[in-house]
Structure 1
Amino acid sequence: MTAETSPPPSPDTDPGRRERKRQQTLDHLAATAFRLFEAHGFEAVTMEQVAAEADVAKGTLYNHFPVKEALLAHLLHSELAGDIPRLRAAIEAAPDFAARMTCLLHASADWSARHRTYLVHYLRFRLANAVTPPTTTDAKSARSGLDQVFEALIRQGQASGELRADLPPAQLAQMFQFLYLSALLRWVAAPDSDLRAEFDATLHVFLHGLIATPDHNPTRGKA
């Protein structure tokens, strides 16, 4: 049988179709879990309840999501993946690296405020997977995609001459990612704090370091 007369791949052998079906399963499980979280609270919901509500075997659920924090992360990451393209025009319209990163961080602050109830659980999961090699499937699912946006903006800043170019963009993005997560942790622990201000301080330290300047050294000049 020639290639021209070969039958199309069946659903079981078509890699693209298999991946789409897998993604639909992940989305269904995460959406079901989130409905239960909203109705009963994150702590009260069990993986067994999620499997029953989603009408899947417990083994199927655990095969895709080993813990319920992973279900939450999948849902939040999917939402972020939809939001980032809508931000692209505003980010690209900003005049320089600092302004572009500020636009992204302030949008992230607003997003975080809407999801504050779940951020403690989400951040615990993120930090537990922070050192997992990014080539593994579990590590990829544990990342929000913001690290890739940070890396792209840093690469753009290096190309324009705004940022130092002696370190790879991926390395700098990873450094900034941990500063970003630290700011989120501080904000979660301090209910009255301003996350935009936390992110502004984080970006300033990333860009300028800890070297004191006249404007940021109140002890300078005192006897």
Structure 2
Amino acid sequence: MSTLVMSRRERNKADKAARIFAAARELFMRHGYEAVTTQQIADHADVAVGTVFRYASTKADLLARVMNAELARPQHETSTADAPVEAVMDLLEPLIEVARTQPDNLLHYQQIVLFDRAGAPRDAALSAIDELEREIETLLGRITVTESPRPGVDLTEAARTLFSGLHMAVIRIALGRLDPDDFGDVVRQHVDIVLHGLLTD
């Protein structure tokens, strides 16, 4: 009997968590992080606001969880593009799409990653960044098998340079110096510059 009660309790908890995160995602995407309150999220999820804080400690915590899911790519997804630049662009497509459609959310997510306290969502975000950098490095390694790499170029640093350029572009969006719709073109230029620095003529 106790096993049945615990099972029902766990199902209820899972249902509430799913409703809260679905509500947060919908409201953040529709209105942007700044315009949404935890009370609105609670109302949309049909739970008490105190219940929201049982599943996420802050609104920033909710955003981190939502954005971690938004930026995640399917496991083992590989690009079918032949051109090196297009192969890297395929890898970065989720981030590019979020920057284009949710620039406010991406900026606040970036601030959480850089400056927020340690915690599970931030740790997951940092792990996702590390994984993306490793995937970029792996892809660059595959490219240099068929192309001619410049001697002494560090693929790890090349991947980090590329990823750092993406985050600087997000800051330019926040400063009003880059239109979100142009983010993909800027990323393509960064990829092209890194690849030309990586490969010989």
TM-score by length of 1: 0.60
Contact 1:51 1:61 in 2 (8 A): yes
Mapped partners of 1:60, 1:32: distance in 2:
13
Alignment pair present for 1:125 and 2:121: no
Q: Structure 1 residue 186: deviation in Å?
A: 1.6
Query: In structure 1, the residue corresponding to 2:36 is in which secondary structure?
Result: coil
Q: Structure 1 residue 34: deviation in Å?
A: 3.7
Mapped partners of 1:22, 1:122: distance in 2:
26
Amino acid at match of 1:88: E
1:179 is aligned to: 165
Gaps of 5+ in 2: none
Gaps of 5+ in 1: 1-8, 210-223
Mapped partners of 1:28, 1:105: distance in 2:
29
Distance verdict in 2 for CA 1:160–1:24, change over 3 Å:
farther
Q: How many residues align?
A: 192
Query: Given the alignment, which residue of 120, 139, 147 partners 2:122?
Result: 139
Query: Given the alignment, which residue of 134, 146, 170 partners 1:151?
Result: 134
Mapped partners of 1:50, 1:187: distance in 2:
26
Q: Deviations over 1:198-218 (max 9, x none)?
A: 112322443455xxxxxxxxx
Amino acid at match of 1:182: M
Q: Structure 1 residue 113: deviation in Å?
A: 1.6
1:196 is aligned to: 184
Mapped partners of 2:121, 2:94: distance in 1:
27
List aligned pairs for 1:67-146, cutoff 5 A: 67-81=58-72, 84-85=73-74, 88-89=77-78, 91=79, 93-95=80-82, 97-105=84-92, 108-129=95-116, 137-143=120-126, 145=128
Q: Structure 1 residue 101: deviation in Å?
A: 0.6
Considering fraction of residues, name the structure with more helix.
2
Mapped partners of 1:196, 1:145: distance in 2:
20
Aligned identity (percent) is 24
Distance verdict in 2 for CA 1:48–1:200, change over 3 Å:
same
Mapped partners of 2:90, 2:185: distance in 1:
13
Distance verdict in 2 for CA 1:24–1:144, change over 3 Å:
farther
Distance verdict in 2 for CA 1:12–1:158, change over 3 Å:
farther
Distance verdict in 2 for CA 1:40–1:95, change over 3 Å:
closer
Amino acid at match of 1:127: L
Query: In structure 1, the residue corresponding to 2:170 is in which secondary structure?
Result: helix
Query: Given the alignment, which residue of 189, 206, 217 partners 2:194?
Result: 206
Distance verdict in 2 for CA 1:62–1:157, change over 3 Å:
same
Distance verdict in 2 for CA 1:146–1:116, change over 3 Å:
same
Higher normalized contact order (CA 8 Å, seq sep 6+, divided by chain length):
2
RMSD, aligned α-carbons: 4.4
Mapped partners of 1:157, 1:39: distance in 2:
36
Mapped partners of 1:150, 1:73: distance in 2:
19
Contact 1:147 1:177 in 2 (8 A): no
Amino acid at match of 1:137: A
Query: In structure 1, the residue corresponding to 2:77 is in which secondary structure?
Result: helix
Query: In structure 1, the residue corresponding to 2:34 is in which secondary structure?
Result: coil
Q: Structure 1 residue 160: deviation in Å?
A: 5.7
